[in-house]
Chains A and B, each alone.
Chain A
Amino acid sequence: DTAVSQTPKYLVTQMGNDKSIKCEQNLGHDTMYWYKQDSKKFLKIMFSYNNKELIINETVPNRFSPKSPDKAHLNLHINSLELGDSAVYFCASSQGQNYGYTFGSGTRLTVV
């Protein structure tokens, strides 16, 4: 299946831990994104990579570090997790700026 796939789907962890979320797309898209959706369903962009190069880095704490080993993968590593990091994180990809995104199904992160 052609898709954007993220793992894990659910992640429950304690405050202070470090965790990673992986994302892969097999659509051949050049651009990948991470979005955060809070408890009120508000979606905000965190990062964007185009052909492995960082092009958008919104005001996100340094504890969040994206890594793109190739244009089909964009992983998100989070250090020293805090309660406020609890949210659903969505990976997405697009081909070009104006063709809309294909979203992954999300990773629900719960920090306890």
Chain B
Amino acid sequence: GEDVEQSLFLSVREGDSSVINCTYTDSSSTYLYWYKQEPGAGLQLLTYIFSNMDMKQDQRLTVLLNKKDKHLSLRIADTQTGDSAIYFCAESPDDSWGKLQFGAGTQVVVTP
């Protein structure tokens, strides 16, 4: 997605924390999302954050939102081999009829 940018690759050791970063452009987006795609599968909604929040925690996942800089991050604590996947950031501008604008995805590889 030309409006949502992510780094393409992240390698992390099992047990360490992973941080995936994303920048978006449309400040009207009420919600911002993180999706996970495992090989050969569809996208699975991991978590989302409402735009008036700075942080959301859900078990091993922590989402941070800096609305001023239009920066979103996903932290995965205690990364496991099952976390190896592509992670997509997405925004949904208010006037977009629910259309999600995706980033290009970050390939996370977890090594033992």
| Interface of A toward B, CB cutoff 8 Å | 4, 31, 33, 40-45, 48, 50, 55-56, 90, 92, 94, 96-98, 100-106
Contacts and interface: CB of A to CB of B under 8 A. Distances in A.
B33 A106 contact: no
Contacts of A41: 37, 86, 104-105
13 contacts: A31-B98, A42-B102, A48-B97, A48-B99, A90-B42, A94-B98, A97-B97, A98-B31, A100-B45, A101-B100, A103-B42, A104-B42, A106-B40
Interface of B: 1, 30-31, 33, 35, 37, 40-45, 48, 86, 88, 92, 96-100, 102, 104-105
A90 B92 contact: no
A30 to B, nearest CB: 10
A106 B96 CA distance: 23
Nearest to B107: A41
A37 B57 CA distance: 29
- Highest count of chain B CB atoms <10 Å: which of A40, A41, A43, A56: A43
Contact of B99 (A56, A90, A100, A105): A56
Given A100-B48, A103-B43, A105-B42, A43 B97 contact: no
A59 to B, nearest CB: 13
Closest 3 CB pairs of A and B: A103-B42, A97-B98, A43-B102
Contacts of A44: 1, 102
B33 A43 contact: no
A35 to B, nearest CB: 8
A48 B98 contact: yes
A90 B42 CA distance: 7
B45 A102 contact: yes
A44 B100 CA distance: 9
B104 A40 contact: yes
A50 B98 CA distance: 10
